[in-house]
Structure 1
Amino acid sequence: MTGCVFCGVVAGSVPAFEVAATASAVAFLDTRPVFKGHVLVAPREHLVTVADLPAAVLPDYFSFVQRLSGAVEGGLGAGGTFIAINNKVSQSVPHLHTHVVPRTKGDGLRGFFWPRTKYASDEEAAEYAARIAAAYTALT
């Protein structure tokens, strides 16, 4: 879809720190992460909500999210992950995407308050993406 930043990421015309990809989705670092290593998983097809995701794509999409959750934990030494989807409300980009956020005990994340941080540099973001990508590859 013209003008959709996530469609641009999927097409390769918008730069992103890609972590992994499947036939149905692409995973990349959030540019405004809750915590460093926060990954977004977006379907390749422009869809707005989870209700728009075709049933035939559900198994591949959510098994990809599942594997990425393990990769975020393993690659970053996180204690767990927070996985979320916004539908329309609080959806900053109107393209379906799933957040996979690394968590550690005592990290300060409470309820649905999502403080945002930044990477110190593109090199730091690339290093986080590489760690998650390596852990993902080891899981597949």
Structure 2
Amino acid sequence: MNMDCIFCKIVSGEIPAKILKETSNSVSFLDAFPLAKGHLLVIPKNHHQKIQDMSIEENTDLFSLVHSMISKVDSITGSTLIAVHNGADAGQEVPHVHVHLVPRSKDDSAGAIHSMFNSALKLSDSEINDLYTKLKV
């Protein structure tokens, strides 16, 4: 636990939250600053800034809880955005892993992921091959 972290304070009960479902390693609750009706967060109980910092067990538990909450969120509008900002440069505002589940509708003005960026990246064949080599498992 990091008691300077708002999410750790929710896990410990120091800050109240509308808890929806809890497992041994994770908890889901309504977002305090929702982007849409039904916007919720799923977080690991242990403090980790990035997904790769979590154990496999914690990761499995977190995404199992995400999976179990999807149908509930989907029942609101029929479609759900699942978003993870993995680190500060990716837009993470609270440095504790959290998965957003946001009900989406065609007229919510949010757009697709490509609308978050000013333009599409144009890569040469050489650059694509270099990336392929770096990322291939």
* Bin for the TM-score computed over the shorter chain: 0.7 to 0.9
Deviation per CA, 1:49-94, whole angstroms, max 9, x where unpaired? 11111112222211110111111122x2x21100010012211111
Alpha-carbon distance between aligned partners in 2 of 1:30 and 1:65, rounded to the nearest angstrom: 14
Which structure carries more relative contact order (alpha carbon 8 Å, separation 6+)?
Answer: 1
Identical pairs, percent? 38
TM-score (norm 2): 0.75
Residue 110 of structure 2 aligns with which residue? Answer: 109
Residue 29 of structure 2 aligns with which residue? Answer: 28
Does the 8 Å contact 1:79/1:105 carry over to 2? Answer: no
Alpha-carbon distance between aligned partners in 2 of 1:71 and 1:53, rounded to the nearest angstrom: 26
Does the 8 Å contact 1:79/1:103 carry over to 2? Answer: yes
| Residue range with higher mean Cα deviation, 54-63 or 11-20 | 54-63
Alpha-carbon distance between aligned partners in 1 of 2:106 and 2:24, rounded to the nearest angstrom: 34
Alpha-carbon distance between aligned partners in 1 of 2:58 and 2:49, rounded to the nearest angstrom: 15
Greater Rg by CA: 2
- Amino acid aligned to 1:11: S
User: Unaligned 5+ residue runs, structure 2?
Assistant: 117-137
Please state whether the residue corresponding to 2:61 is helix, strand or coil. helix
Matched length: 112
Query: Residues 44-123 of structure 1 correspond to what in structure 2 (within 5 A)?
Result: 44-74=45-75, 76=76, 78-88=77-87, 89=89, 90-112=91-113
Please state whether the residue corresponding to 1:6 is helix, strand or coil. helix
Residue 132 of structure 1 aligns with which residue? Answer: none
Residue 118 of structure 1 aligns with which residue? Answer: none
Alpha-carbon distance between aligned partners in 1 of 2:37 and 2:107, rounded to the nearest angstrom: 15
TM-score (norm 1): 0.74
